[in-house]
Copies of this chain bind each other. A is one copy, B any other.
Amino acid sequence: MVTRLSNFFLRTLREDPAGAEVASHKLLIRAGYIRPQASGIFAWLPLGLRVKARIEKVVREEMAAAGAQEVHFPALMPREAYEASGRWDEYGDLLFRLQDRKGGDYLLAPTHEEAFTLLVKDLYSSYKDLPLTIYQIQDKYRDEARPRAGLLRGREFTMKDAYSFDASDAGLDVSYQAQRDAYERIFQRLGLEYVIVQADAGAMGGSRSEEFLHPTPVGEDTFVRSEGGYAANVEAYTTAIPEPLPFDAASAPVIFDSPNTPTIETLVTHANANLEGEFTAADTLKNVVLALTHLDGTRELVVIGIPGDREVDEKRAEVAFAPAEIEPATPDDFEKHPLLVKGYIGPWSPTGAILGEESATGIRYLLDPRVVEGTSWITGANIDQKHAHSVIAGRDFSADGVVEIANVREGDAAPDGSGPVHLARGMEIGHVFQLGRKYADALGLKVLDENGKLVTVTMGSYGIGVTRILAIIAELNNDDKGLIWPASVAPFDVHVVAAGRDQVAFDVAADAAAQLEAAGLDVLYDDRPKVSPGVKFGDAELVGVPRVLVVGRGAADGQVELWDRRSGERDTVSLAEALQTLATR
| A interface list, Cβ under 8 A from B | 1, 7-9, 11, 32, 35, 37-38, 41-46, 49, 64, 67, 69-78, 93, 96-98, 100-101, 104, 106, 108, 115, 119, 122-124, 129, 132, 134, 139, 141, 143, 145, 155-156
Contacts and interface: CB of A to CB of B under 8 A. Distances in A.
Nearest to A73: B43
Given A49-B71, A67-B7, A77-B38, A43 B119 contact: yes
A64 B2 CA distance: 11
A44 B72 CA distance: 5
A37 B76 CA distance: 9
Contacts of A122: 35
B9 A134 contact: yes
What 7 pairs between A and B have smallest CB-CB spacing? A98-B98, A11-B123, A44-B72, A38-B78, A93-B101, A43-B73, A9-B69
A74 B134 contact: no
A373 B115 CA distance: 65
Number of copies of this chain that the complex holds? 2
Contact of A75 (B9, B49, B139): B139
Contact of A43 (B64, B72, B96): B72
A74 B41 contact: yes
Given A9-B69, A38-B76, 14 more contacts: A9-B123, A9-B132, A11-B123, A35-B119, A37-B73, A38-B78, A43-B73, A43-B74, A46-B69, A74-B156, A75-B75, A75-B139, A76-B108, A76-B155
A583 to B, nearest CB: 23
A75 B93 CA distance: 19
Question: Interface on chain A toward B: helix, strand, loop, or mixed SS?
Answer: mixed
Contacts of A43: 71-74, 115, 119
Nearest to A43: B73
Contacts of A32: 123
Contact of A115 (B37, B76, B98, B134): B37
Nearest to A45: B71
B96 A100 contact: yes
B9 A71 contact: yes
A427 to B, nearest CB: 23
A93 B104 CA distance: 13
A76 B44 contact: no
A42 B64 CA distance: 23
Contacts of A74: 37, 41-43, 139, 156
Contacts of A35: 119, 122-123
A43 B42 CA distance: 25
A100 B132 CA distance: 36
Contacts of A11: 123-124, 129
A425 to B, nearest CB: 28
A496 B204 CA distance: 41
16 contacts: A1-B64, A7-B67, A7-B132, A38-B78, A38-B104, A41-B77, A43-B71, A43-B115, A46-B71, A49-B70, A76-B96, A76-B156, A96-B100, A96-B106, A101-B143, A101-B145
B69 A8 contact: yes
A434 B393 CA distance: 81
Contacts of A119: 35, 43
A77 to B, nearest CB: 6
Contacts of A155: 76, 100
A307 to B, nearest CB: 37
Contacts of A49: 70-72
A96 B96 contact: no
Given A100-B143, A108-B76, A141-B76, A71 B44 contact: yes
A104 B46 CA distance: 29
A145 to B, nearest CB: 7
Nearest to A107: B98
A122 B36 CA distance: 11
Given A67-B7, A70-B46, A96 B98 contact: yes
A81 to B, nearest CB: 9
Nearest to A32: B123
A264 B383 CA distance: 97
A483 B233 CA distance: 51
Contacts of A100: 96, 143, 155
A445 to B, nearest CB: 14
